[in-house]
Amino acid sequence: MGMRLEVCGVSFFYASRDVLRDVTLEAGAGEVVGILGCNGCGKTTLLKCINATLTPANGCVTVDEEEMTGMSKRDVAKKMGFVTQSTYVTFPFTVYETVMMGRYSRIEAFGAENAGDVDAVHDAMSYAGVLEFKDRVISEMSGGERRRVMIARALAQEPDILLLDEPTLHLDLSHQFDLMELVRRLSRDKGMLAVIVTHDVVLASRYCDRVIMMKEGVVVAAGTGPDVITPNNLKEVFDIEAEVRPDDRFVLDVTIVGRASRHEGKPS
């Protein structure tokens, strides 16, 4: 049996506001799981509970039955790589230096990088398609290139799980598809579990093996794309009218028609 991530009845609160309420999901090695929902529905908070940046008020997160809460940051980083929304870098690090930062959990305190660390960094850069940029300053790169560097840095951790928060944000259309193809290759070739937070229904329908759809901190639907990405669920969660059809190339073909509320009450 392969690696298993379990989120069991997780709730989280900011002050008096409920952000997550009794969220449960399971996922395993080699899967791409999409967490879909509008802005502010709790998607990013869920990712931060999964990687123990935040501590749930109720419930727990386990990897292979080992609870994440209370685990050291170094040990969490050995299990999970986290690619945040922001790719902004203040200091003029090179791509190589940035990716090497992903090895901190593997290098002993006050220790120096060794040949194994260098090999892991080169493999990560090669896989993410940024090896040719290794000497470039990351702050001078495009948004799409920086996103790939951040994925390479996460891969250098050699994690079992890759968490990505809105990975296609601010990317042009071609780079959005390139990045999602990269994530799919990681899951297929390396057996990595990828958990992607997004509000892009079309990309989720094409690239995610399973989908969790959230609204106001609650899981509305969970399952395969065809089970979850339905006209009724899209209307309830996103207030959009959409046509969803099976597609031999992409599993689903999703066409956004428009805002659902604008069509309500109009004669057919």
Strands 218-224 and 210-215: antiparallel
pLDDT at 266 over 70: no
Cα gap 225→215, rounded to integer Å: 17
pLDDT of residue 252: 87
What pTM was computed for the model? 0.91
The per-residue pLDDT for 10 is: 97
Residue 196 has pLDDT above 50, yes or no: yes
CA distances from 250 to 57, 173, 198, 202, 223 (A): 38, 17, 18, 10, 17
Distance of CA 265 to the CA centre of its chain: 38
Q: CA 64, CA 58: separation in Å to the nearest integer?
A: 19
Q: Phi-psi bin for 191: left (phi > 0), alpha (psi -120 to 50), beta?
A: left
Stated as kind and residue range, the H or E segment containing 104 is none
Output the average pLDDT for the chain: 90
* DSSP E strands, the chain: 4-14, 17-28, 32-36, 58-63, 66-67, 80-83, 161-165, 193-198, 210-215, 218-224, 240-247, 251-259
In CATH terms, the fold of domain 4-263 is: Rossmann fold (3.40.50)
pLDDT tens column, 13-54: 988 788 999 999 999 999 999 999 999 999 999 999 999 999
Mean pLDDT of 182-202: 93
Which DSSP string corresponds to 43-79? HHHHHHHHTTSS--SEEEEEETTEE-TT--HHHHHHH
Reported as a single tens digit per residue, the pLDDT across 79-107 is 999 999 887 777 889 999 999 999 988 77
Task: Answer yes or no: is pLDDT of 262 > 90.
Answer: no
Q: What pLDDT does 268 receive?
A: 39
Comparison of pLDDT for 10 and 90, the residue scoring more: 10
Domain coordinates of the chain in residue numbers?
4-263
